[in-house]
Amino acid sequence: MHDDPPILICADLQIEYVTEGRSHVITDAEAITLRCLELMALWRENLWPVMHLKRIAQAAWFNPASKLTDWIAELKPRPGELAFEHPLPSAYSSARFAEYMSNMKNIRCVLLGFSLDETILSTVVDGFHRSHRYQVVSDAVACRRPGVGDPFSYKRAVVRVIGNYAGIQGSADLIGASGRIAV
């Protein structure tokens, strides 16, 4: 155990992912949203650091002028929590995020949220190459529906790939019975 808790990074918890009919809609968004809320509540109750990522782009999707890029109301940042907008899949495409992370020493990050196959995957790979340590909460992440095939098999495959660059833990393994985090 380390003295300092890891930073909870909430990736792309945006309306786009929960809007039926949109190309980025998440199949199991309700279950993932609830798990994210539980983990955010734990971090906030203990006054541990929480950070938020928001995907924006100049394309037909994630257009910053659209309301679909807004935070899901119950998952939006609170005062005192950092938020970073990133134009490309990796959070490191945000100059502010990259600079912030490069100035932090010996931090650990717990990553949850949407866009597992885009934002989470690319951020973890970029972080790995910068010697940043990430843990991905396997039951608090999701990706959009794949064009073909079973979405749950697709998610498992993406999580296995991420496991080459970051630790993978379920929320029950992450948080022990004592409420302490085990990262």
Q: CB under 8 Å to 90, separation ≥6 — which residues?
A: 119, 122, 123, 125, 126
**According to DSSP H, which parts of 63-138 are helical?**
95-103, 121-129
Distances (CA, A) of 104 to 115, 130, 166: 25, 12, 18
Q: Is residue 99 part of a domain?
A: yes
Q: Is residue 1 part of a domain?
A: no
More confident residue, 61 or 5: 5
Q: Mean pLDDT, to the nearest integer, of 77-103? A: 95
Q: Is residue 127 part of a domain?
A: yes
Mean pLDDT, the chain, as a whole number?
Answer: 87
53-85 pLDDT per residue, tens: 999 876 555 555 667 788 999 999 999 999 999
Q: Is residue 83 part of a domain?
A: yes
Q: Is residue 133 part of a domain?
A: yes
Percent share of the chain, pLDDT over 90: 62
What is the domain range of residue 24? Answer: 7-174
Is residue 173 very low, low, confident or very high in pLDDT (cuts 50, 70, 90)? confident
In sequence order, what are the beta bridge partners of 109?
Answer: 7, 134
Q: Is residue 144 part of a domain?
A: yes
Looking up residue 46, the CATH number of its domain turns out to be 3.40.50.850
CA angle, corner 48, sides to 44 and 50, nearest 5?
75
Q: Is residue 180 part of a domain?
A: no
Q: Is residue 148 part of a domain?
A: yes
112-146 pLDDT per residue, tens: 999 899 999 999 999 999 999 999 999 999 987 66
Exposed/middle/buried for 179, CB within 10 Å: 0-12, 13-18, 19+? exposed
Is residue 1 very low, low, confident or very high in pLDDT (cuts 50, 70, 90)? very low
Number of domains in the chain: 1
